[in-house]
């Protein structure tokens, strides 16, 4: 059996731990214990918990990016594509019973004001999802399926932010309802 | 000069500290140092940091409640009342240069999954602001100034959640723009 890669073991364990418990509530000891690796090995691979946190955010963002690829599928009508995207994002929240929230939202509130590099990572992630949403919305505006009175970039950024608010509320309520309401309101009102 | 009340000193210092740094990044030592009181005195007044956190959330919610009282002023037209309320909320964010966010949003993401009593406090606070918003929206629907195709409660909850998302994004960006965009979209599109 191949020797497990210690660094990969730490990153994949941390992905779950930092998502579920948050950054400051998770110690390096918690991480190495959960990963089943010696505490001393952590600093062979990461200069600090912050450095690990940034790798974990990159891993998480890559995962969301795979879902966001749905937004580029031009064989599906724009509104339907948005629905499919948010359905998949809701399924991600359902998988942890609405307890974990979005790691990007969690770290935005917990760390923006504490770790400058984390704030940069959040900004980049939000800009990325915002641009994908803006492209779909612009496409819908061109084919007449999405209201065109307001700029696609503005609508997309509002929808992107409102999604974070819905996920935050779903976590507070431990309920799916804020996410379903978000979809109803965005597809039935904001973009209609 | 009256002897300062140690408990009050701890609560008012923590209000700022827990809002700016978050719950888990702030130790009891940080709090007693900042409050200028002996560390030992903390546990004379609070059974735990959680117990203090709950008092601080109550204090914060009372402060937001004073702003939310604007929503009850029936001498001002519904849409104008909403604008005044969000203008005041934006001013609160401007005062800390968009670095602190909303304590309710911060604690929703950081603590919902960790401290059950905190989740209950968040739910109650959101239900309170949601009910006030729903009443104004319903009033606007009756006088014809707000679109009435969707239930006031649904619109209010969506707006309340979207506000949290806008504040979260403003914190990540350290920028006012997400808050201004929220107002443009809510008053110009969601409720128009």
> What average pLDDT does range B30-55 have in this prediction?
96
How many angstroms away from the CA of B85 is the closest CA of chain A?
Answer: 18
For every residue of chain A, which 3-state class applies, written as one string? CCCCCHHHHHHHHHHHHHHHHCCCCCCHHHHHHHHCCCHHHHHHHCCCHHHHHHHHHHHHHHHHHHHHHHHHCCCCCHHHHHHHHHHHHHHHHHHCCCCCCCHHHHHHHHHCCCCHHHHHHHHHHHHHHHHHHHHHHHHHHHHCCCCCCCCHHHHHHHHHHHHHHHHHHHHHHCCCHHHHHHHHHHHHHHCC
Indicate whether A46 belongs to any domain: no
Whole-number pLDDT of residue B4: 62
Contact yes or no for A168 and B109 at CB 8 A: yes
In contact, B20 and B99? CB cutoff 8 Å = yes
Q: Is B157 near chain A, with CB under 8 Å?
A: yes
- DSSP state for residue B100 in the 8-state scheme: S
Indicate whether B173 belongs to any domain: yes
Indicate whether B183 belongs to any domain: yes
- Distances from the Cα of B122 to the Cαs of B69, B108, B125, in angstroms? 19, 6, 5
Q: What is the pLDDT of residues A167-189, one digit of tens each?
A: 999 999 999 999 999 999 999 99
Indicate whether A79 belongs to any domain: yes
> What average pLDDT does range A102-116 have in this prediction?
97
Indicate whether B164 belongs to any domain: yes
| Domain extent for A101 | 54-190
Q: Is B97 near chain A, with CB under 8 Å?
A: no
Residues 6+ apart with CB under 8 A from A118: A50, A53, A54, A57, A107, A111, A112
Contact yes or no for A172 and B101 at CB 8 A: no
Q: Is B143 near chain A, with CB under 8 Å?
A: no
Interface of A with B in 53-72 (CB under 8 A): none
The dihedral formed by the CA atoms of A9, A15, A17 and A23, expressed in degrees to the nearest 10: 120
Q: What is the pLDDT of residues B67-91, one digit of tens each?
A: 999 999 999 999 999 999 999 999 9
Give percent of chain B with pLDDT exceeding 70: 98
Rounded to 5°, the CA angle B130-B136-B139 comes to 135
CA dist., res. A182 & res. A166, Å (int): 6
Q: What is the pLDDT of residues B99-118, one digit of tens each?
A: 999 999 999 999 999 999 99
How many angstroms away from the CA of B106 is the closest CA of chain A?
Answer: 5
> What average pLDDT does range B134-154 have in this prediction?
97
From the list A23, A117, A101, the residue with the least C-alpha distance to B24 is A23
Q: What is the mean pLDDT of chain B?
A: 96
Whole-number pLDDT of residue A4: 63
Grade residue B1 by pLDDT with cuts at 50, 70 and 90: very low
Dihedral sign computed on CA atoms, order B192, B86, B160, A155: positive
Number of CB atoms found within 10 A of residue B142's CB: 12
Q: Is B164 near chain A, with CB under 8 Å?
A: yes
Grade residue B96 by pLDDT with cuts at 50, 70 and 90: very high
Grade residue A37 by pLDDT with cuts at 50, 70 and 90: very high
Indicate whether B24 belongs to any domain: no
Indicate whether A146 belongs to any domain: yes
Q: Residue B182 is inside which H or E element, if any?
A: helix B177-185
Structure tokens given for A119? 């704030």
> What average pLDDT does range B155-168 have in this prediction?
98
Looking at the 3D structure of chain B, how many domains does it have? Answer: 1
Residue A1 pLDDT greater than 50, yes or no: no
How many angstroms away from the CA of A19 is the closest CA of chain B?
Answer: 10
Give percent of chain A with pLDDT exceeding 70: 98
Residue A20 pLDDT greater than 80, yes or no: yes
Q: Which candidate from B99, B114, B157 shows the least CB-CB separation from A113?
A: B99
Residue B3 pLDDT greater than 60, yes or no: no
In terms of C-beta density within 10 A (0-12 exposed, 13-18 middle, 19 or more buried), how is residue A105 classed? Answer: buried
Q: Is A165 near chain B, with CB under 8 Å?
A: yes
CATH number at residue A128: 1.10.357.10
Indicate whether B28 belongs to any domain: no
Give percent of chain A with pLDDT exceeding 90: 97
Q: Nearest chain A Cα to B25, which residue?
A: A24
> What average pLDDT does range A106-123 have in this prediction?
97
Contact yes or no for B181 and A105 at CB 8 A: no
């Amino acid at each position: 059996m191949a020797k497990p890669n210690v660094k990969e073991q730490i990153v994949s364990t941390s992905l779950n731990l930092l998502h579920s418990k948050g950054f400051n509530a998770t110690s390096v000891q918690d991480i190495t214990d959960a990963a089943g690796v010696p505490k001393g090995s952590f600093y062979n691979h990461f200069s600090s918990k912050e450095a690990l946190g940034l790798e974990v955010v990159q891993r998480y963002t890559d995962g969301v990016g795979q879902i966001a690829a749905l937004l580029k599928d031009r064989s599906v009508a724009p509104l339907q594509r948005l629905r499919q995207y948010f359905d998949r994002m809701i399924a991600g929240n359902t998988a942890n019973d609405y307890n974990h929230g979005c790691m990007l939202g969690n770290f935005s509130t917990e760390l923006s004001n504490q770790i400058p590099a984390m704030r940069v990572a959040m900004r980049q992630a939000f800009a990325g999802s915002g641009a994908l949403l803006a492209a779909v919305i612009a496409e819908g505006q061109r084919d007449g399926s999405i209201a065109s009175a307001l700029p696609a970039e503005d609508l997309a950024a509002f929808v992107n932010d409102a999604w974070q608010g819905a996920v935050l509320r779903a976590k507070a309520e431990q309920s799916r309802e804020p996410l379903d309401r978000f979809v109803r309101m965005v597809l039935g009102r904001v973009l209609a």
